[in-house]
Amino acid sequence: MFTTGSKMFLGATALSVVATIVFSASEGGAVGLMGTVGLITAVVIFAFLAGINLFTRDGNTPSMQQGVEHTSSAAQPPVGRSMWPLGAAVGIGGLVIGAISKPVVFKVSVVVLLAAIVEWMVQAWSERASADVKYNANVRSRMLNSLEFPILATVGAGAVVYSFSRVMLSANPNAGLWIFVVIGALIVTGGFLFAGPRLTSRRTIAAICTVGAVALMGVGVASAISGQRTIHPHPVIDDASQKPLCLEGGEEEVDEHASQDVSLKSSVVANIYLQEDGDLIALINGMPGIEYHELTVPRSAHLGVIFHNDSGEAQRLTGRFGTFPDKPEAVSCTTAVHPGKSAYFGVSIPKSNAASSTPFEFIVPGVDGATIKIVVP
Amino acid sequence: MTVLTRRLSGTVIAAAIVLTGCAKNAPQDTFQPKGPNARTIDDLQRPLFYIAGVVGLLVFVAIGYSIFRFKDRGQDMPEQTHGKTWLEVLLTVIPAVILSGIAIPTVAAVFKLDEKSNECVINVTGQQWWWEYDYSGTCGGVEITSPIVTSGELVIPADTPVLLRITSRDVIHSYWIPALNGKRDAVPGRLQTLRMQADEPGIYTGQCSEFCGLSHARMRQAAVSLSKADFQTWVTNQLEAYTAPEAGTLAATGESTFLNQCARCHQINGLLLADGTPALAEPDLYVVAGAAPNLTNLMTVTAIGGWTFDILTDECREELWNASPEDFGALYLQGVWMNSGPDAQKPVCFAEATLRDWLRNPAAMKPNYADPNKLDSTGGRTRGMPNLNLTEDQIDQLIAFLLERK
């Protein structure tokens, strides 16, 4: 009545039902809800798979002949060795170590353990599916390859990408440029060679790719261990202790590459220009040619402006965002920006300027009259 | 279910879907442009639909022919052939030609929609689940001497190109008035532009078109277009100084109730605290988005609660919506006081029950996240207006006070 495949899924369904009941009864709150939903999902999936197996009789034409499975196949003794008990042992060991060390070890071990159990179960089941070892291997492949290949591909691609990112974070910026050039050239050359069927066999291609991936991961691990290079951030200065810096001129903290956030450049409140004559003007999208000396900014919205320094000296843009009861004046600024360069300046003003005892404005410290009034309705 | 029943059901459903396209009362119909930008889109989409319709028809005919012509009737398997170069070239070239032909007017329309001859800039800020507009500078020749902040209804001068600068305070929303232009996403941290222009005075409705949470369906908006003279009147009215209610009246008590219950989130420009200092709302302390509607001129709008609930009676709403462009402005500027006459004590067109229900329990009308027991993750700040548990007396006082915000 029940096919071999359906027995496994029916068992898994029953187990999931019991787990759902126990878990939902013992665990409350958001965790309980999430877990219960997950287990119910497992019940549905296992029941669905069991139904499919029953309906298709395991997709095995001979098994649709009544009694065949009893007379010839599963009664045969299993063959082959399995590495999955070892995998499960590693998972359990990792669980113990993870429980007393780092959560990430614990989580990875849970994944290893679950994977080992599933693989072990399916292998044990498939080896009893029939007397034909080749057929059994095929059954196992049909069951698990659709899961294994995407997962392994994802893990493999992730490992390569992660390794490459470690290399790039470790290498200095100039070396990074050459790494890109060399790897790009290698990929193009390799593609050219592989495209010619007479030049290389599939085996050679696989070997080269494997060696390349292993080498990349090896360098990646070494880079990760050596740590990333020092990356100089380009922050807007909004520390209260930096207030004097924001309100004074000078070239301290000059940053040639201050504007790093490319994605935001096209969607700013305004482009603010410090012109050669010391005038500070704002231009906004959609209103070309109009120079604004007043900007209206919605309150509590995270927005930005881009400061362009067209003067002959390094300058910074400072935002004065008001003084409210029991608080010092809110001031922040860009780093000083080289002539001809620009900087992004994030703005979020939670209060209306009507409530402030000091003006809301953009200024350039040290440049008289370089002011743009900020209106926050 | 019998075959006949199935066929009948299918026919009825298909007919219902087709008939929805015949609706007359469809203010958000994208095929009824009321401004040059929407017309540009319409001029592009109509021929595209025709072309797509012809292509679709040809495909369905070909599929239908293949199904009937080559149905399995027990005949031998036909000869399997692969590759007819001329056919494959033809089937590649035809779509390429069609797409190239479509690309030319499409790109032209994109550039046309980005024309920069604007005469007015309005900031549009979305949050869960309403839109805020702020005006400053000059709009259609009308000088706005101090910022105007409104919600729900975007009031613009007719026949004037207006530039909207759209952003969001919390999640992604999308601003859309189908009769005037296409959609534009409101993205936190970004400021995007959209042009609006209405041919003539009228009211044009829209809907947030990016799913933004629990009450997304109740995040509506409208653009109200007024003649330049009426727009000047509207601006002047918006900028009028606050007038305190007459002492001893119900509205005066309502002012105190407002200060105690509402003013921490809602701003009314000019409203003073008992010590004579300005009452300044601090919605950033109480609302996740950091903003709540400015109620300075609440009674000049026609709907509240994210422009979802009419505060005009059904009759007055019909009268306003069906008014001719010449009469529209005068009616709109009267708001709930439409048809009331200069000496009326109470507005004829005021749907009081709507505002009363809203004040009694906003969450019952518009689902939100304002239950004080469930705000741990937001530090006690709400998404939407909480139930303030106002008494009926307090609601009476507030309504009397708010009716004077006109």
**pLDDT tens, position by position, B165-182:** 999 999 999 999 999 999
Q: pLDDT, tens digit, for every residue of B124-156?
A: 999 999 999 999 889 999 999 989 999 999 999
Mean pLDDT of B20-42: 88
Kindly state the percentage of chain A with pLDDT values over 90: 21
DSSP states of A247-272 = HS-S-TT-BTT----GGGTTS-SEEE
Fold of B250-311+351-402: Immunoglobulin-like (2.60.40)
- Confidence check: pLDDT of A24 > 70: yes
Task: Note whether A347 and A257 are within 8 A (CB).
Answer: no
Cα(A131)–Cα(A72) distance, integer angstroms: 7
Q: Do A300 and B283 touch (CB under 8 A)?
A: yes
**A240-375 classified as CATH 2.60.40.420:** yes
Does any CB of chain B come closer than 8 Å to the CB of residue A262?
no
Q: pLDDT, tens digit, for every residue of A316-345?
A: 899 999 888 888 888 888 888 888 888 888
* A266: CB partners within 8 A, 6+ apart: none
User: What pLDDT is stored for residue B341 in this prediction?
Assistant: 79
CA dihedral A217, A219, A222, A226 (to 10 degrees): -120
Minimum-distance CB partner of A264 among B116, B118, B189: B189
Q: pLDDT, tens digit, for every residue of A263-304?
A: 666 788 899 999 999 999 999 888 888 899 999 999 999 888
Minimum-distance CB partner of B290 among A304, A350, A354: A350
Please choose, from the candidates A320, A194, A197, the residue with its C-alpha nearest in 3D space to the C-alpha of residue A247. Answer: A320
Does any CB of chain B come closer than 8 Å to the CB of residue A301?
yes
Does any CB of chain B come closer than 8 Å to the CB of residue A304?
yes
DSSP states of B215-245 = TGGG-EEEEEEE-HHHHHHHHHHHHSPP-PP
For chain A, the maximum distance between any two Cα atoms, rounded to a whole number of angstroms, is 99
Q: Which two tokens stand for residue A29?
A: 């709150």
Please choose, from the candidates B276, B263, B294, B277, the residue with its C-alpha nearest in 3D space to the C-alpha of residue A325. Answer: B277
Q: How far is CA B171 from each of CA A302, A371, B176, rounded to the nearest angstrom?
A: 11, 32, 16
Q: CA of A286 to nearest chain B CA: how many angstroms apart?
A: 5
Q: Do A377 and B148 touch (CB under 8 A)?
A: yes
What's chain B's Rg over C-alpha atoms?
27
Contacts of A301 in chain B (CB under 8 A): 125, 167-169, 188, 290
Of the CA atoms within 13 Å of residue B256, those in its CB half-sphere come to 11
Mean pLDDT of B111-124: 88
Per domain, the residue ranges of chain A are 4-130, 131-231, 240-375
**B120-239 classified as CATH 2.60.40.420:** yes
- Name the pLDDT band for A133 (thresholds 50, 70, 90): confident
What's chain A's Rg over C-alpha atoms?
33
Q: Which two tokens stand for residue B65?
A: 């022919």
Q: CA of B289 to nearest chain A CA: how many angstroms apart?
A: 7
Cα(A183)–Cα(B277) distance, integer angstroms: 68
Task: Note whether B180 and B149 are within 8 A (CB).
Answer: no
Please choose, from the candidates A111, A109, A105, A69, the residue with its C-alpha nearest in 3D space to the C-alpha of residue A92. Answer: A109
Minimum-distance CB partner of A264 among B125, B169, B190: B190
- Confidence check: pLDDT of A238 > 70: no
- Name the pLDDT band for A79 (thresholds 50, 70, 90): low
Cα(B170)–Cα(B152) distance, integer angstroms: 17
Contacts of B132 in chain A (CB under 8 A): 298
Contacts of B284 in chain A (CB under 8 A): 299-300, 350-351
Task: Note whether A19 and A37 are within 8 A (CB).
Answer: no
Q: How many residues does chain B have?
A: 406
Does any CB of chain B come closer than 8 Å to the CB of residue A10?
no
Task: Note whether B355 and B304 are within 8 A (CB).
Answer: yes
Contacts of A261 in chain B (CB under 8 A): none
Task: Note whether B385 and B279 are within 8 A (CB).
Answer: no
Task: Note whether A269 and A365 are within 8 A (CB).
Answer: no
- For chain B, give me the number of helices (H) and strands (E)? 10, 12
User: What pLDDT is stored for residue A253 in this prediction?
Assistant: 66
Mean pLDDT of B16-33: 84
Phi, psi of B352 (to 5 degrees): -60, -35
Please choose, from the candidates B229, B276, B148, B196, the residue with its C-alpha nearest in 3D space to the C-alpha of residue B33. Answer: B196
Cα(A175)–Cα(B147) distance, integer angstroms: 53
Does any CB of chain B come closer than 8 Å to the CB of residue A300?
yes
Mean pLDDT of A349-360: 86
Nearest chain A residue to B146 by CA distance is A377
Q: Do A267 and B289 touch (CB under 8 A)?
A: no
B22 SS3 class: coil
Q: Do A350 and B284 touch (CB under 8 A)?
A: yes
Please choose, from the candidates A211, A219, A245, the residue with its C-alpha nearest in 3D space to the C-alpha of residue A316. Answer: A245
Q: Do A301 and B169 touch (CB under 8 A)?
A: yes
- Domains B120-239 and B250-311+351-402 are alike in CATH topology: yes
Minimum-distance CB partner of A286 among B193, B282, B290: B193
Does any CB of chain B come closer than 8 Å to the CB of residue A283?
no
Element (H, E) at B121: strand B120-127
Does any CB of chain B come closer than 8 Å to the CB of residue A377?
yes
A117 SS3 class: helix
**Sheet of strand A303-309, all strands in order from the earlier edge strand to the far edge:** A280-283, A270-274, A303-309, A342-347
CB-CB neighbours of A24 under 10 Å: 16
Contacts of B134 in chain A (CB under 8 A): 296, 298, 377
Residue numbers of B between 101 and 120 with CB closer than 8 Å to A: 116, 118
Contacts of B280 in chain A (CB under 8 A): 351-352, 354-355
Instruction: Classify residue B188 as left (phi > 0), alpha (psi -120 to 50) or beta.
Output: beta
User: What pLDDT is stored for residue A263 in this prediction?
Assistant: 60
Q: Do B118 and A286 touch (CB under 8 A)?
A: yes
- Confidence check: pLDDT of B187 > 60: yes
Minimum-distance CB partner of A303 among B118, B167, B291: B167
Instruction: Classify residue B166 as left (phi > 0), alpha (psi -120 to 50) or beta.
Output: beta
Cα(A239)–Cα(B321) distance, integer angstroms: 53
Contacts of B123 in chain A (CB under 8 A): 296-298
Cα(A375)–Cα(A364) distance, integer angstroms: 18
The average confidence (pLDDT) of chain A is 83
Cα(B92)–Cα(B79) distance, integer angstroms: 24
Residue numbers of B between 123 and 182 with CB closer than 8 Å to A: 123, 125, 132, 134, 136-137, 147-149, 163, 165, 167-169
Cα distance between the two ends of chain A? 75
Task: Note whether B227 and B329 are within 8 A (CB).
Answer: yes
- What is the interface pTM, i.e. ipTM, of the complex? 0.82
Q: How far is CA B41 from each of CA A340, B110, B178, rounded to the nearest angstrom?
A: 40, 9, 10
* A265: CB partners within 8 A, 6+ apart: A259, A306, A344
Sign of CA dihedral A13, A17, A19, A23: positive
CB-CB neighbours of B83 under 10 Å: 6
- Name the pLDDT band for B231 (thresholds 50, 70, 90): very high
Element (H, E) at A344: strand A342-347
Per domain, the residue ranges of chain B are 120-239, 250-311+351-402
Q: Do B125 and A301 touch (CB under 8 A)?
A: yes
